[in-house]
Amino acid sequence: MSKPLQPPFFLRTLNTSAIMLALGLLGCSDAHPSEHEHEGGEAHDHDYEAGEQVVRRSASEMRPEEIDRFVRAFEYAVAQGYFDDFNDSHNNHHHQRHHGADVQATSPITIVVMPREWGFRLLPWHRAFLLEAETMLREALRERNLAEGRDPAEAELLYIPYWDAAHDQALPQWVLDFQPAGGTAFGVEGLPEGHAGYGTSADVRYEIEFGRWPGQNPTFDTLNTPEHIGRILAHDDFEGFYDALDTNPEPVPANAERAKVGLITLATLMPDNAAVQTLIASLTSPPDEADSDATLATTNALFELAHLEALETRKAEPDLVIIGAVEDVFSVFEFMPHVRMHLWAGGLDPVDASVRGTVTYFNELTVDPVFWMIHCELDRIWYSWEAGHDEAPPLTDDDAIFEPLAHVGHWYGGGWTFGLDELTDHDNLGYRYDTLFE
């Protein structure tokens, strides 16, 4: 049986400085069969030979020839539509069961919480997804090199880099400059009017218009510190480690009074604001731990505050008191690396705060290389945790089987079936990291 949603993290922090609500990230609505399938046979198991692993390196430490190799492969794959199948797979949340919450395309953000075991699938599923993408990118580079008279054998050296956001505190310049064009996605509900997919039905594809404004989301304008990641790695059990990485913001008890004053200020300035009233009501009468609907309403009210701040900052004469009060409310949290990296990297359109970056819309995000670098970093953090712990995600039966591209991966030599034991066996993965997280 799935665990119930936890008590409202904001309100429990204000009242008791306790651990907060499980706030999962990165899910999406039902997808549809891709129009870009390649011919091939049935999904097949695979085997990696130990000792033939590529070494994944930080995006900020890559050599020029490694950057060139990755960029040439990635831009070609996007232009050819090869990531469309990856978009569709990632968007098929109810089939893949690969996130703890379904994050809608709405503005402000709204979430729908999923069964807890779906969250436990997040790390192994995306590990499999990364392996599929690396294999596809190598085949794409071979194809491009053959067409351009270059050596196709260099594709064997290609790898997906990780983004060491905690140490870098920025995206490397070459990543900032790299914004590949192309790719399509199915429409989803909730896309704002300024988005390229606005009004597109769920059975129609639209052409992706790439967007990335790193650091331009005022509520998510900072990144996690190495010390915060270190505290996440210090968890002895997988559930505690996973929750800290993906679902539970870390409380900042020293800012509890500041956050309470910020909320009272907002209630005074905007007495009719529904989100503020939801938070005030929950503060004075916290819902029962088992009342998941009330807890979710509180969480989504917080996202409404974040959107309110974003809209205010873009006004010709912004109300600095409102902006400061919202910042005071959010000062009581250190958000999880998963949500923070996505929302920081994507940012918000400087002209239209209702439009987020491509890497935050889960029907189209695979065309942004930052998506892969984020999940490569999350994988490296898990890989680092695994080095000192034997515990695997608590998954059994079908939940321990992963087939992210089972029906479409054959053209590039993928489409594998992965077992959990296989995905947690470092010696037989097709890669290793140049360094563990320190």
- pLDDT, residue 10, reads 39
How confident is the model over 104-129, as pLDDT tens digits?
999 999 998 999 999 999 999 999 99
- pLDDT, residue 288, reads 64
Name residues of the chain where pLDDT drops below 50.
1-51
β-strand partners of 55: 432
Q: Please state whether the predicted TM-score (pTM) of the whole model is above 0.85.
A: yes
Between CA 9 and CA 312 the distance in angstroms is 25
Q: Which one-letter amino acid corresponds to residue 344?
A: W
Written as six digits, the tokens of 32 are 């549809």
- pLDDT, residue 295, reads 77
How confident is the model over 72-94, as pLDDT tens digits?
999 999 999 999 999 999 999 99
Number of neighbouring beta carbons within 10 Å of residue 291? 16
- Decide: 334 and 223 in contact? Cβ < 8 Å: no
- pLDDT, residue 286, reads 66
Between CA 5 and CA 113 the distance in angstroms is 8
